[in-house]
Amino acid sequence: MPKEANKKQDSKKQNKDKKQFGKDFKAELKRVIWPTPKQLFNNTVAVITVVLITAAIVFVLDFAFESLNTYGVDRLKEMVENQNSVSTNTTAENEVEGNTTVDGNSTDESANTTEETNVTDENNVSEEDSNSVE
């Protein structure tokens, strides 16, 4: 039986709390100072004005940064990419040619390779000429 008594007391307490909440709510609404229609209009105009000014500022900043990006940053990127591609091409050409720098002295391995190729070609031509004569 004690459990049933506790349940009844809890439900009565909840109903009392709900009624009390409703009464407190009504009492608070009576204490609220409601704005007059003129104050409401003035406050509404002030809020809309601030929102429009903020929107205009954001629009101008967005346009300015987009223009800066288009005309400034993108061109800088192109210049850097072009400079990198030129230096990459120069490095690649040096590697193909065999130019290396050791202790500040430039050596040209391609010249040595070219001379060896020419000597070999001359030998081959000489052998072919001698074979065709026979």
Residue 133 in contact with residue 120, Cβ under 8 Å?
Answer: no
- The answer to whether residues 109 and 98 touch, using CB atoms and an 8 Å cutoff, is yes
The predicted pLDDT at position 25 comes to: 92
pLDDT of 63 reads 94
Residue 51 lies in a domain: yes
Q: What is the pLDDT of residue 71?
A: 80
Give me the domain span that covers residue 43.
37-81
The predicted model scores a pTM of: 0.39
Q: What is the pLDDT of residue 97?
A: 60
Q: Domain for residue 27, yes or no?
A: no
Segments of the chain with pLDDT less than 50: 111, 134
**Averaged confidence pLDDT in the chain:** 75
- Asked if the structure places residue 46 within a domain, the reply is yes
For residue 18, tell me if it sits in a domain.
Answer: no
What pLDDT shows up at residue 80? 87
Cβ contact 97:108 at 8 Å: yes
Radius of gyration of the chain (CA): 46
